Amino acid sequence: MDIKRIFLVILDSCGCGALPDAAEYGDEGAATLQHVLNSVPGWRLPGLMELGLGRMLGDPAHELSLTPTAAWGMASTLSKGKDTTTGHWELMGCVMETPLPVYPDGFPQELIDEFAGRTGREVLGNETASGTEIIERLGPEQLASGKWIVYTSADSVFQIAAHEEHIPLDELLRACETARKLLKPPLEVSRVIARPFIGEPGAFIRTGNRRDYPIPPPCKTVLEYLHDDGLAVIGLGKIGDIFLRRGLSEDHHTSDNAEGQKLLMETLGRDFEGLCFLNLNDFDSKFGHRRNPQGYYDALKNFDDLLPDIIGKIGEGDLLILTADHGCDPTHPGTDHTREYVPILAYSPLLEPTHVGTRESLADIGKTILECFGIESDLPGESFI
């Protein structure tokens, strides 16, 4: 295929059914997209359905209602885990055989004491929690005491929340850098995350000044192969954070889906050769974790409404790939990610609409991107082009 530009869009957490090993993660029966749509009477996603989404929803009323215009299928996750970092790394060719460490009971007290000593502030929390819930619960005490709020989740993360008007943002970011240095193997977590917020008790709001401090990918990624071949690699959203900006020629942070979609449209209007890689995180952070299926659907509908404009800018030498990194079923018990298949929708005027099957690994998507540009690698995965 004579491809010049590829647009890879991650609909963060838009899983489409439990993987065979989901029960090992407590996720048996999870199905993010299916359960979101089942929760919304009269739902309509005409753009995604036209591409072929209905073929993987398992609903006979929609499965064969349209002849897809894109290649469609699903992908499994080979890596151990169900978090953002693991999913994105596998998409770009790094399969994790050992899961990153998680701390369901909080971090070791010695680590917390060292962190407090180095940053000059004591710690509240040190527990597994929803970010919005723990800020509402412990935010007033932080305002009174000046202590950090530290928490984790089912992911391998060390999160630090602080009110921007009481603890300066620069100080919060320095504290994250301190935590990153302290979290060495075997305590190494995938990401340290700054979670600044503002507002008054009962009405706290997280701001767009979130910052992630990840560990580097364990192998050379598709992004680096592309960059080394002289191609543009444009990261939008949190892609730069996930990959430590390795292999990126441009890195543009976004605060929400609206900003990410706006940047996608702008990039579609540019002349370049290479990859534009976008993560749309609101599905996961604002609606999946907060168990809000209506909000999740509204975000899907918002993206679906934009799809005709996106498709309208996909030229003869372009390829659009829509997929996800894991699930986050808002109807499933708990507030964590869910271990699921992810959809694959690949559209190009050069690509015959066809079923690409159930792929063994997310790495097949990265391998497909490399093949489109004629780049050889020893990364895992098998191209579906």
Percent of the chain residues past pLDDT 90, beyond the cut: 86
Residue 336 has pLDDT above 70, yes or no: yes
| 251 and 351 share one domain | yes
Q: 104 in a domain, yes or no?
A: no
147 pLDDT band, cuts 50/70/90, is: very high
Q: Phi first, then psi: what are they for 260, rounded to 5°?
A: -65, -45
User: What angle is formed at CA 286 by the lines to CA 280 and CA 289, rounded to 5 degrees?
Assistant: 110
Q: What is the mean pLDDT of the chain?
A: 94
pLDDT tens digits for range 197-224? 999 999 999 998 988 998 999 999 999 9
Lowest mean pLDDT among 17-26, 183-192, 198-207, 223-232: 183-192
Q: 151 in a domain, yes or no?
A: yes
The DSSP symbol for 42 reads: T
| 363 and 223 share one domain | yes
Residue ranges of alpha helices (H) inside 92-220 are: 109-119, 131-145, 169-182
For position 66, what pLDDT does the model report? 67
Q: Are strands 191-198 and 157-163 parallel, antiparallel or unpaired?
A: parallel
For position 59, what pLDDT does the model report? 59
56 pLDDT band, cuts 50/70/90, is: confident
Long-range Cβ contact pairs of 171-178 (< 8 A, separation 24 or more): 172/196, 173/211, 174/119, 175/115, 175/119, 175/121, 175/148, 176/211, 176/213, 177/213, 178/115, 178/118, 178/119
Residue type, 157: V
Query: Distance (Å, rounded) from C-alpha 125 to C-alpha 147?
Result: 10
Contact (CB, 8 A) for 2 and 260: no
Query: Which single residue is written with the structure tokens 């048996």?
Result: 28
Mean pLDDT of 192-196: 96
65 pLDDT band, cuts 50/70/90, is: low
Q: Which two tokens stand for residue 329?
A: 């079923």
Listed residues 183, 214, 245: the one ending a domain:
214
Q: 382 in a domain, yes or no?
A: no
pLDDT tens digits for range 348-358? 999 889 999 99
Q: Which two tokens stand for residue 238?
A: 């949190």
For position 155, what pLDDT does the model report? 82
Mean pLDDT of 256-262: 97
Residue 322: which of 356, 272, 291 has the closest Cα? 356
Query: Measured over all CA atoms, what is the biggest interatomic distance in the chain, rounded to whole angstroms?
Result: 62
Contact (CB, 8 A) for 135 and 197: yes
Positive or negative, the CA dihedral 348, 233, 87, 157 is negative
247 pLDDT band, cuts 50/70/90, is: very high
Domain containing 245: what range?
Answer: 5-96+218-372
pLDDT tens digits for range 71-121? 999 999 999 989 999 999 999 999 998 888 889 999 999 999 999 999 999
| 119 and 171 share one domain | yes
Residue 231 has pLDDT above 90, yes or no: yes
Count other Cβ atoms within 10 Å, centred on residue 347: 25
Q: 74 in a domain, yes or no?
A: yes
| 272 and 347 share one domain | yes
| 327 and 191 share one domain | no
Query: Which single residue is written with the structure tokens 């699903």?
Result: 74
| 42 and 138 share one domain | no
pLDDT tens digits for range 24-43? 999 999 999 999 999 999 99
Residue 273 has pLDDT above 80, yes or no: yes
User: What angle is formed at CA 106 by the lines to CA 101 and CA 110, rounded to 5 degrees?
Assistant: 95
Residue 62 has pLDDT above 60, yes or no: no
Query: Distance (Å, rounded) from C-alpha 355 to C-alpha 370?
Result: 20
Query: Which single residue is written with the structure tokens 């890689």?
Result: 277
User: Using CB atoms within 10 A of its CB, is residue 163 exposed (0-12), middle (13-18) or buried (19+)?
Assistant: buried
Query: Distance (Å, rounded) from C-alpha 266 to C-alpha 275?
Result: 14
Query: Distance (Å, rounded) from C-alpha 6 to C-alpha 369?
Result: 8
| 359 and 248 share one domain | yes
Contact (CB, 8 A) for 316 and 350: yes
| 233 and 332 share one domain | yes
Q: 113 in a domain, yes or no?
A: yes
What does the buried/exposed string (b/e) look like for 193-228 if buried means 16 or more CB atoms within 10 Å of the residue's CB?
bbbbbebeeeebebeebbbbbbbebeebbbbbbbbe
| 204 and 224 share one domain | no
| 202 and 236 share one domain | no
Q: Please list, in sequence order, all residues whose beta carbon lies within 8 angstroms of the beta carbon of residue 45, skipping any fewer than 6 positions away.
A: 37, 53, 300, 301, 304
Mean pLDDT of 276-298: 95
For position 153, what pLDDT does the model report? 86
| 127 and 149 share one domain | yes
Residue 380: which of 75, 106, 101 has the closest Cα? 75
H/E element holding 264? helix 257-268
Mean pLDDT of 250-260: 95
Query: Distance (Å, rounded) from C-alpha 131 to C-alpha 153?
Result: 9
The DSSP symbol for 307 reads: H
